[in-house]
Amino acid sequence: MPETCRVIAVLGTRPDAIKLALVIQDLRRRTGEFEMAVVHTGQHRTMLDEVLEHFKIKPDFNLDVMRPNQTLSMLTCRVVDTVGNACDQFKPNIVLVQGDTTTAFGAALAAYYCKIPVAHIEAGLRSDDIYNPFPEEANRRFVSVVAQIHFAPTAHSRDALMAEGIPTAKIVVTGNTVVDGLRRLSQLHHSWENTPLVSIPADSSRLVLVTSHRRESWGSDQANMCLALKDLVERHLDIRVIYPVHMNPNVRSTIDAMLGGIDRIHLTEPLDYLTFVSLLGRCFMVLTDSGGIQEEAPTFHKPVLVLRKVTERPEASQFGMAKIIGMSRERIFREASRLLSDPEEYRQMSEGENPYGDGRASERIVETLTRWHLGITPLLDPDEQFKPSPRRPALRRKTDVWEEPRAEMPEIVYSKPEVH
């Protein structure tokens, strides 16, 4: 019988913590099979800590990698160096990394330099444009090169990995772990008292949740979005826009200047995750450039308008629950107005089960790690891997004619962005 499997789980941002929390809890419960250490790089210090506190996870290594105005290369170097030191101390059998952050990339590279196998949770997401999203698309591709186990959330992600030559035997389709966490948290009652949302009037207004912070949207694209939000509240008098503004000053400078003080547009501080989940459950619709929210909103049957040119999470769009609309002022206004004005359009985009998971992803990951350590193949039986509930893609109505939906792309001229 092999010795217990020593596992390091590396997290640095709030989404990392949300998506790794139940995996960490399950591994720590199986004390006879696993010994584990949690490495916290501190890429999102405050927002990450509140998630860890909620799930009662205490990091074993607290790393301080953030510096004011540091470049991506500086951050990557610090992650590689500090995670490498943690690996030298703990001597794991395998290192778990999550997603597409600089923490995930740097930790995977550190493990590779130490010749320690890497397991990649949320593997295989692809936009096929290395600058959209930037730097996440390149980060996840880099991790795939060194990973020994690829936990693909969906069959689409599995197929993308296979197209890049990853052996099927190294891929397990798990569903996304965020659905596991959401199912647990959504059962909790949460008040908006003592939160940034306490000032939102408790009237009959429909709430439009907006988030936008991606690097590729800074500047003119975000300005276009702000103008579209102004147009929406002027046209639709029964809505309130709630926009938790990212802490990055490059985001805040534009948002505060263009949207500050406008009636029925509520700019708030970033929300703790329980408050955000509560808002997601209460809102009418979502406009976002966040990949994670694209996965979360379908659990609450909320239509999503994706403020990006491309997405690495196409399943919601394929199931008719999201639409990629880009950052054109006219397109944002038109598509949001359609959902606000057309009950049938809204119904079509809000029906169905979440195509990203069924709440058992963490369980599948832990079982796979057990089998991997024991040398059992396959890593997980095909019948045990995630398969979404079948759902015929929603029909779209144009005037009085019903037709099958086609991929809709914003009217955007593509050009290679500048790299700073």
Segment 352-366 mean pLDDT: 95
pLDDT at position 1, please?
A: 52
Asked about 44 being catalytic, the answer comes back as: no
Asked about 137 being catalytic, the answer comes back as: no
The full DSSP string for 311-360 is -S--HHHHTTSEEE-TT-HHHHHHHHHHHHH-HHHHHHHH-S--TT--S-
Q: How far is CA 319 from CA 127, 147, 393, 405, in A?
A: 18, 30, 5, 10
Q: What is the pLDDT of residues 192-240, one digit of tens each?
A: 999 999 999 989 999 999 998 777 667 788 999 999 999 999 999 999 9
Q: Which two tokens stand for residue 94?
A: 């395998």
pLDDT at position 414, please?
A: 30
Given 16, 136, 312, 315, the catalytic residue: 136
List phi, psi (to 5°) of 209.
-85, 130
CA distance 25 to 7: 13
Q: How far is CA 252 from CA 32, 213, 267, in A?
A: 48, 9, 10
pLDDT at position 54, please?
A: 86
Asked about 100 being catalytic, the answer comes back as: yes
According to CATH, where is 3.40.50.2000 located in the chain? 5-176+357-384, 206-354+396-403
Specify the amino acid at residue 269.
Answer: E
Segment 106-128 mean pLDDT: 97
Q: Report whether 126 contacts 137 (CB < 8 A).
A: yes
pLDDT at position 404, please?
A: 33
Q: Report whether 122 contacts 98 (CB < 8 A).
A: yes
Q: Report whether 309 contacts 410 (CB < 8 A).
A: yes
Is residue 407 pLDDT above 70, yes or no? no
Q: Which of 258, 251, 253 is nearest to 289 (CA)?
A: 251
CA distance 66 to 52: 18
Cα 69 off chain centre by: 24
The strand pair at 401-403 and 396-398 is best described as antiparallel
Is the bond leading into 378 cis (omega within 30 degrees of zero)? yes
Helix or strand run (H / E) with residue 306: strand 304-306
Given 16, 122, 295, 335, the catalytic residue: 122
CA distance 288 to 343: 21
Asked about 88 being catalytic, the answer comes back as: no
DSSP E strands in 167-321: the ranges are 171-173, 206-211, 239-244, 265-268, 285-288, 304-306
Pick the CATH number of 206-354+396-403 from 3.30.830.10, 3.40.50.2000, 3.40.47.10, 2.70.98.10: 3.40.50.2000
Given CATH 3.90.550.10, say whether it is the number of domain 5-176+357-384. no
Asked about 122 being catalytic, the answer comes back as: yes
Given 246, 252, 338, 391, the catalytic residue: 246
CA distance 227 to 188: 36
Given 16, 100, 312, 315, the catalytic residue: 100
Q: Which two tokens stand for residue 2?
A: 């092999």
pLDDT at position 391, please?
A: 58
Mean pLDDT of the chain: 89
Q: Report whether 355 contacts 313 (CB < 8 A).
A: no
Is the bond leading into 133 cis (omega within 30 degrees of zero)? yes
Given 44, 215, 308, 396, the catalytic residue: 215
**pTM of the entire predicted model:** 0.83
Given 40, 44, 158, 213, the catalytic residue: 213
Asked about 313 being catalytic, the answer comes back as: no
List phi, psi (to 5°) of 176.
-90, 135
Q: Report whether 171 contacts 205 (CB < 8 A).
A: no
Q: Report whether 323 contacts 141 (CB < 8 A).
A: no
pLDDT at position 417, please?
A: 34
Q: Is 138 exposed, middle or buried (0-12, 13-18, 19+ CB in 10 A)?
A: middle
